[in-house]
Chain A
Amino acid sequence: MNLTTIEIVNKTLKKRRQKERVFRAAGLVSVLTGLAALVFLLHTIVGNGWGAFTQSYIQLPLKLDAQVLRIDNPLDEEEWDYANYAGVIKASLRERFPEVTSRKQKRILYRLVSPGASFQVKQLLDDRSLLGSEVTLWLPADDDVDSLIKGYINRELPEKERRVKDFALTLIDDLVSSGQLERKFNVIFFSAGDSSEPEQAGIYGSMLGSFFTLVVTLILSFPIGVAAAIYLEEFAPKNRFIDLIEININNLAAVPSIVFGLLGLAIFLNVFGIPRSIPIVAGIVLAIMTLPTVIISSRAALGAVPPSIREAALGLGASKMQTIFDHVFPLAMPGMLTGSIIGMARALGETAPLLMIGMVAFVVDIPGSFTDPATVLPVQIFLWSDSPERAFVERTSGAIIILLLFLVIMNGLAVWLRNKFEQRW
C-alpha cells in the first residue's frame, strides 16, 4: 500500500480536529464554571446587601419642649448633655397613638423607633434656638420594623415565632397607611461608625479607617519600594549578598499576611508601645506586607524599559543618574503605579494581620486622624458577620458590596494606567 504524503496527512486530520474540539470544549467549560461561581457570589452578595442601602424611617412631629427635655436652665451645658431626648420621641408617639395606654403596649410602641434616634434629636438641638419649637423629623425605625418592611419577617407565622408581635403589626400598618413609615436611602449607613444597633451602624468610620491606613501604606511602601527596586535593578553590584536579598524579597511576597500582623504586634505594640487599633500601625504593617509586591512589580517595570533607551541616553553623555531619572524611571512609572495600586488593593482587602494588632475593636467614633482608634472595612465586615440580626446580615453584605466596589475601581485604575501608558517598542 503506497500512500502519498497528503493521504497520510488527511488520515490524521480527523483525529487532530477532534482533539482540538475537545480542548476547546474543556476550556469553555472551565471558563463557564468560573463565571457561574462569580455570578452566584455576586448574586448572593447583592441580593443580601442591596437592602442595606435603604432603611425604614418613621416621620414624627417633635415638640422640643424644655419641660419634656427636663431642661430647667438652658445655659447649663450639663443639663443639655443629660436631657431627656428620648422623652420627646415618646411623647410624640403617644400623641400619634392616643389609644395606647397599657404599660406593655407603650413599650411596644416606643420600640418602633430606633433607640439611637434620641441621638438625632440631640444633634438637632445643637442649634439651641430650636428649644421650644416644633419640628418634623424622619427618625430611623427599629431594625425589626425595618426587617418587616423589607419582607424579611413572615407575617403569616404564628405570633410566638415572630419577632414582631401582632400589636406592633397594627401600629406599623397604621403608620404605613398614613405615609409616616417609609423606606428611604440609608444615610446612616454611609455616615456613621459602628453601633450595637444595626439601624445606627454604618461603614463611614471603617471607610475612613481604611483610608487613613491606606494613605500610610502608600506613603511608606511606594517610595521605599521604588527606591529599593531602582537600587536593585540599576545600581546593585552582582554578588551573593544581593542575590540573597533578592531571594528574600521574592519569598516575602509569598509569606502569609498574618505573619506580618504578628510582626507588627511584636514590634510596634510590644516594643514601641504604640496603642492598639490605630491606622498608623495598621498602615505600617500593611506597608511591610505590600513592600515585596511593590518592589517586584517596580523591578519588572524598570526591566521592561528597553536597553536601547538607556544606550541612547548614555551615548549622549548622560550620567547613570540622569539616564535613570530622565528616561528609565518615567517610562517605568506607569508599571510601578500599576503594581502599587494592585498592592494597595490587596492591602485594602486584608483582615488577618490587622486582627493581630487589635484593629478588631468596636469603634463608634468616626476617626479624624491617623492616630484615632479605628477599624477598617474588611474588619468591619468580619465583625458584623458575627451578628445574628437580619439587619446586620444585610449590612455585612452591603459593606462587602462597597469594599468590592473600591477593589474594582482600584484594579480598573491599574488596568487603565497600564493600557494608557503602555509603550510599544
Chain B
Amino acid sequence: MSMNESNHSLSSNASEYSTTTGQIEVENPKMSMRNVDVSYGDKQAIFNVNLDIAKNEVISMIGPSGCGKSTFLRCLNRMNDTIESCKVSGDLLLEGQDIYDPKLDVVPLRARVGMVFQKPNPFPKSIYDNVAYGPHIHGLANTKFELDEIVEKSLKKAGLWDEVKDRLDQPGTGLSGGQQQRLCIARTIAVSPEVILMDEPCSALDPIATARIEELIDELSANYTIAIVTHSMQQAARVSHRTAYFHLGYLVEIGSTDDIFTNPSHKLTEAYITGRFG
C-alpha cells in the first residue's frame, strides 16, 4: 500500500529514511547483516540494510506490505536462491560465517536456519512423516526408536503432541489450519535449527490459533533465535524483544519493542504504528 498522499509530512524523500534510526549492533550477534541490497531483476527491493540478530531473541519485522520484509527474511536462509531473478549482495553472517559464500552449501545452512511459511504447508503425508522428514534427510536419527523420539519431542515442543499422538499416521493436511501451522513448526524444529524464520505465520489463522502460536513462539524463544515477519503490530508487540520497521525497502528504525511501540524515534515509524498508513 502506498503512503497517504494527503499527508505531506510523510511524502517520500528517501533521504529521510535511508539511514537507520536506532541501535543496529548487538553483542555476540547470532546473525549479522551489513549493506544488504536485494533486487528482482531491475527492481531493487532492499536498500542497504544493516541489522544484527541476537542469540535467543525474538525479532519482529513490520512495515507496510511490499516493503521487503519477506524478501529480507528469505535472505537469511537463502530461500531467495529459488527465485531466478533475485540477486543479493552485502555481507550476511551466521556466527561469523558468510552465508552467501559461493562455496557454502545451502543444505546445512537451511538445517541451521529453518523457516515457517505464511500459509501452512504440511507435506501431503502422515503427521509422523511430516516431522520425520527433516531428521531423515539429514541423518539425525540412526534408529527408528531415535526417530520416534525426535518426532515426539518436536511435536511436544510445538504443543501439538496431545492433539495428534493417537493419529500420527493420518495425513497432516487433514488437521485444522492452526494445527497445520504448529505441525510445520514441529517439522522445522525437528532438525534442531539455531534460527527459525517465520513469515507471517499467523496470517491465515483465526484468533485462537494465532494466540496458540504466539504462546509457542514465546516458549521457543528460550532455545531458538526467532525472526518473525508480521503485519499485526499487536503480535509484534506481544511476542518480540526487538522490532525492526521497514519502509520501501529501507530499514527505517530498529529498537526494543517497548520503545518502538511507545516511543518511536522516526516519524514514519510513528505514522505506521499509529495506523496512519499500513
Contact = CB atoms under 8 A, between A and B. Distances in A.
A315 B79 contact: yes
Interface in B135-173: 137-138
Give the interface residue-count category, chain B: 20 to 34
B100 interface: no
Nearest to B105: A319
A133 interface: no
A45 B133 CA distance: 55
Contact of B115 (A306, A309, A315): A315
Nearest to A310: B82
Q: Give the contact-size bracket for chain A.
A: 10 to 19
Nearest to A318: B137
A405 B124 CA distance: 35
A317 B107 contact: yes
A322 interface: yes
A314 B79 contact: yes
Nearest to A319: B107
A79 interface: no
- Max count, chain B CB within 10 A of own CB: residue among A306, A314, A326, A327: A314
B127 interface: no
Nearest to B135: A316
A309 B121 contact: yes
Interface string A300-332: 000000101111111111110010001100010
A126 B271 CA distance: 101
B146 to A, nearest CB: 18
A423 interface: yes
A199 B252 CA distance: 91
Given A308-B119, A309-B121, A312-B123, A317 B82 contact: no
Please classify the interface of chain A as helix (H, G, I), strand (E, B), loop, or mixed, using the class held by over half of its residues: helix
A317 B138 contact: yes
B184 interface: yes
Contact of A423 (B110, B117, B124): B124
B191 interface: yes
A15 interface: no
B121 A312 contact: yes
Contacts of A318: 107, 133, 137
Interface in B89-146: 106-111, 114-115, 117, 119, 121-124, 133-134, 137-138
Interface string B190-214: 0100000000000000000000000
Given A309-B121, A423-B124, A316 B82 contact: no
Contacts of B138: 317
A75 to B, nearest CB: 68
Interface in A369-423: 423
A423 B123 CA distance: 11
Contacts of B230: none
B188 A315 contact: yes
B42 interface: no
A419 to B, nearest CB: 16
Contacts of A312: 117, 121-123, 184, 187
A416 to B, nearest CB: 19
Contact of B134 (A238, A317, A319): A317
B84 interface: yes
Contact of A316 (B119, B124, B134): B134
Given A312-B184, A315-B79, A316-B187, A326 B133 contact: yes
23 contacts: A238-B84, A308-B121, A309-B124, A311-B82, A311-B115, A312-B117, A312-B122, A312-B123, A312-B184, A313-B123, A314-B82, A314-B110, A315-B79, A315-B114, A315-B117, A315-B188, A316-B133, A316-B134, A316-B137, A317-B191, A318-B107, A326-B137, A327-B123
Given A308-B121, A315-B188, 17 more contacts: A238-B84, A311-B115, A312-B117, A312-B123, A313-B123, A315-B114, A316-B191, A317-B106, A317-B107, A317-B108, A317-B110, A317-B114, A317-B137, A319-B107, A319-B137, A326-B137, A423-B124
